Amino acid sequence: MPTLENEIRDFIVTTVVKDMNHPIAPDEVDVQSPLGSGGIDLDSLSLIELTMRLERRFNVQFPETDIEPLGAMTLGELAADIVERGATA
């Protein structure tokens, strides 16, 4: 049975690749992939869009000051952070 953290990771990959049409293949993304440069390569606007989708889907909040540092996080770190913020499925 998938954990909430796994569900969040899958949601992020699906959202970035399919819904946001980001030019990266799902098999190129893993838990160690940085969200920003050198990894998934999301810019600041893409990070804002992703956080808005995460807020709606998992009932969490990202203050504006928390969004820019997300680019330095890996996919796995972001998923763990969302769980720590009290995410609900």
What is the tens place of the pLDDT at every residue in 30-44? 999 999 999 999 999
- For the 4-84 domain, the top CATH level (class) is mainly alpha
What long-range pairs does 72-75 form, CB within 8 A, spacing at least 24? Answer: 72/34, 72/35, 72/36, 73/34, 73/35, 74/31, 74/32, 74/33, 74/34, 74/35, 74/39, 75/9, 75/12, 75/13, 75/29, 75/30, 75/31, 75/32, 75/33, 75/35, 75/39, 75/40
**What's this model's pTM, rounded to 2 decimal places?**
0.91
Percentage of the chain modeled with pLDDT above 70? 99
Could you state, in order of their start, the residue ranges of all structural domains in the chain? Answer: 4-84
In the prediction, which pLDDT does 1 show? 55
- The low-confidence residues of the chain, meaning pLDDT below 50, are none
Position 89 scores a pLDDT of: 81
